[in-house]
Structure 1
Amino acid sequence: MSLSGLGDTGKAQPPPALFPAPESDTPTPGRRRGGARQNLPAQSSSPQQAPVQSDDAGRQLVFFGADAAEPTVADLAGLLAGPAEVVRMGGTARLSVQVDAAWRVHVLVAELASRGLAASWEPIEGERHAVRTSYTRILKPLAAAWLHGSTKRPPAAFHLTGRRLRLWLAAAGTPEPPDCLLLRLGPDDKECWESIGVALAATGLAGTLLGPADGGPAYRITSRRRLARLAELVGEPPRAAPPEAWPV
């Protein structure tokens, strides 16, 4: 099946231009890729730019890290580990996720585009934004793997890679200084939480599950060692992300 998305995703409307989009947010081994500028939502003030890091030819890629492979549609399982939803319609499916900051829209639209998926967005209540793809055949296998009827549930072989964690972090990662970070979960996805915690632990990121009464649902990742491990896996910060929003 072609993953180009041509014919399936071209109907998404570009969002209004309110501040310049950063260059490509998708990490590429050995270099940054420049990307076409897109029209995306503004933040309350212009985002601080993460420092541009020089290429390091001697740096070894972390196994399963975000730099270790090209982006694929399967990476979107990282969004489904968090608060994203996928729904089916006929032989197609659509993925959507609500985020709490405009920089996340920038990053997710770029990440989806790098996988052949056009995305649209709209502001919603509570100063949040909804990002969604068009209905497309490309997402049908992902929906088949994650949906049991209308219930979201990780497949038996679910695991997390650097690219999946990068998407989850971009959509729903919240730092808690000095040495904690929350990876937020879908509030209606209780059947997923335990399996996702097992997958986190398998990457060296064992976290504490917080319920809704404790500021969740989310997994809290603690200690500098685990945050350093997370930073290795997810790669360098997207240019749209405020410096304090990304582990380094």
Structure 2
Amino acid sequence: MGQLSFFSAETEEPAYSDLEGLLAAHGQTVRSESGTRVSIVVADRWRAEQIVEQMRAAGLEAEVTTSDEGTPLARAAPSHDLDALHAAWSTGAVKSMPAGWVPTFRALRLWVIAAGHSDEGRYELGLDPHAPETHADLATALMRAGIAPTLVGTRGNSPALRITGHRRLARLHEYVGPPPCPAAVADWPAAELH
């Protein structure tokens, strides 16, 4: 067993901007008179629970509930503290990535929690199929963080950024740290290829 690393995601304090990782995936913001709500439907309950835990760590009220389709849904209560996040990630009614955005370590960790999947020595970060105009920009944002991905699945319902190669996968693992819970291990970036 190698020496334990000090992971980048653990060096930052929780912040509202961490939720940008959910918007890089397929998360949504909705603005109302009572403030902005951030929500995301995820494939597994552990993902929803971990997202809500991170929302609460940033100082937001949040809950795990179920979508109309019966899948886990993580959402923050409406808050004016999230209005700037909504404004930054919206152009009118359309989701858009802010120009020059680079994911923080904690935002990248939330992106992995929300929409990351291991796939036979590769790793995929899910994208929003309803916001195809963000896909190339998000690939560029990940490159700015030092991880060069390949855009895949753009013609289907599962677009993603695929990360391959030992160095890139090791860098992703270094950024996001260890899995947040035992249920996450199978879909977490590994420290090394098996």
Q: Given the two structures, how large is their TM-score scaled by the length of structure 2?
A: 0.89
Give RMSD over aligned pairs: 2.1
Q: Is 1:174 the equivalent of 2:117?
A: yes
Counterpart CA distance in 1 for 2:71 and 2:109 is 20
Please show how residues 128-207 of structure 1 align to structure 2 within 5 Å: 128-177=71-120, 179-207=121-149
Counterpart CA distance in 1 for 2:153 and 2:186 is 25
Residues 236 and 141 of structure 1: CA distance in aligned 2, closer, same or farther (over 3 Å): same
Gaps of 5+ in 2: none
Counterpart CA distance in 1 for 2:70 and 2:188 is 21
| Residue deviations 1:122-160 (CA, integer Å, cap 9, x gap) | 223665212111111111110111111111111113111
Match for residue 48 of structure 2?
A: 105
Contact 1:66 1:235 survives alignment (8 Å):
yes
Counterpart CA distance in 1 for 2:171 and 2:157 is 24
Match for 1:154: what amino acid? M
Indicate the SS of the match to 1:209. strand
Counterpart CA distance in 2 for 1:181 and 1:127 is 27
Match for 1:81: what amino acid? A
Please show how residues 230-245 of structure 1 align to structure 2 within 5 Å: 230-245=172-187
1:240 is displaced (CA, Å) by: 4.6
1:87 is displaced (CA, Å) by: 1.2
Q: Given the two structures, how large is their TM-score scaled by the length of structure 1?
A: 0.70
1:233 is displaced (CA, Å) by: 0.3
Percent of pairs with identical residues: 37
Counterpart CA distance in 1 for 2:184 and 2:23 is 23
| Residue deviations 1:65-89 (CA, integer Å, cap 9, x gap) | 2122111111111111111011111
Q: Which has the larger radius of gyration?
A: 1
Counterpart CA distance in 1 for 2:41 and 2:165 is 28
Judging by fraction of residues, say which structure has more helix: 2
Match for 2:52: what amino acid? V
Contact 1:92 1:135 survives alignment (8 Å):
yes
Contact 1:100 1:127 survives alignment (8 Å):
no
Match for 1:242: what amino acid? A
Gaps of 5+ in 1: 1-52
1:93 to 19, 36, 54: 36
1:120 is displaced (CA, Å) by: 2.0
Counterpart CA distance in 1 for 2:167 and 2:38 is 33
Counterpart CA distance in 2 for 1:194 and 1:224 is 23
2:152 to 192, 205, 210: 210
Indicate the SS of the match to 1:83. coil
Counterpart CA distance in 1 for 2:162 and 2:93 is 28
Q: Which moved more, 1:165-174 or 1:82-91?
A: 82-91
Contact 1:105 1:121 survives alignment (8 Å):
yes
